[in-house]
Amino acid sequence: MRLEVADTGIGIAPEARAQLFQPFVQADGTIARRYGGTGLGLAICRQMAELMQGEIGVDSEPGKGSTFWFEFPCEIARGPTLDEAGEAEAPEYGLRRILVAEDNRINQLVVTAILQRDGHHVDVVADGQEAVAAVLRAPYDLVLMDVQMPEMDGPSATRAIRKLPGSVVTIPIIAMTPNAMPGDRESYLAAGMNDYVGKPIDRVKLRQAIARAAGAASAGADEPEATTAPAVPSAASAEAAGRDFAALFAALDTAPAA
């Protein structure tokens, strides 16, 4: 497999390329002052390439830019693809219009792809203030609220929503957070959130949380059992991250051209 990354930067002179992948070497002594960096990045990349029995190199022309490339051997997968293996059937529940409050663009795409695949209508906002304004403008069945956002964080936005007049005050709100320290769950529930899911987002656990919210909404309950986020990175976390990127790539592949 060959990967290439090209830029239109200052380029690299031929005499500088031979030493470019050595530690603490940059093509020009002024680069660190002008652009930052420690001079270690390419040396680390070279070591990683060698560990994978691969090669790394650069093609460049001063004043026009550079193309860094990486090649490594890999076997063609023999197992079934995702489409061949099939997916679990999308669940049936009444929460169909969902507001996602998330400031990170990648996370927005991942969560939106998961929800749309299950048939939900999704609107996205980037901070807590926008979330409060959104629930006043339109009726939502559920809010997925990132905990850490600019302007107004998730718990603050939730407290503001719980003070609004009318039926919007009872809208189910699920926190999305990487935090799993003791007391985090209690603080989210105290802020008025109904449940929470850990990051990276796992599609199955997100479905379970939405199903609990749907059941609570129909029964009039307001405190379903929370999904426990992983406290430390694990194999399960890595697998979930892979599913996130699969969902992201699917979203990017089907997104209309700008």
pLDDT in tens, 120-161: 999 999 999 999 999 999 999 999 999 999 889 999 999 999
Give me the number of domains the chain comprises: 2
Give the pLDDT confidence score for residue 76 in this predicted structure. 78
Give the pLDDT confidence score for residue 102 in this predicted structure. 95
79 is a domain residue? no
CA distance 54 to 72: 4
pLDDT, averaged across the chain:
77
- Rounded percentage of the chain residues whose pLDDT exceeds 70: 69
Range of the structural domain that residue 10 is part of: 2-71
- CATH code for the domain of 23: 3.30.565.10
pTM over 0.85? The answer is no
Q: For the chain, how are helix, strand and coil distributed in percent, rounded to 5?
A: 40, 15, 45
Domain boundary among 30, 46, 71: 71
78 is a domain residue? no
CA distance 111 to 124: 10
pLDDT at 32 over 50: no
Strand partners, 55: 71
Give the pLDDT confidence score for residue 218 in this predicted structure. 59
Q: Which two tokens stand for residue 27?
A: 């093509």
CA distance 246 to 254: 12
DSSP string, 133-186: HHHHHS--SEEEEESS-SSS-HHHHHHHHHTSSSGGGG--EEEEES---TTHHH
Residues 63, 95, single domain; the answer is no
User: Under 8 Å CB-to-CB from 234, ≥6 apart: which residues?
Assistant: none
- CA torsion sign, 31 to 37 to 40 to 46? negative
CA distance 21 to 17: 8
Q: Read off the pLDDT band of 250 (50, 70, 90).
A: low
171 is a domain residue? yes
Of 179-188, 189-198, 244-253, where does mean pLDDT reach its minimum? Answer: 244-253
- CATH code for the domain of 154: 3.40.50.2300
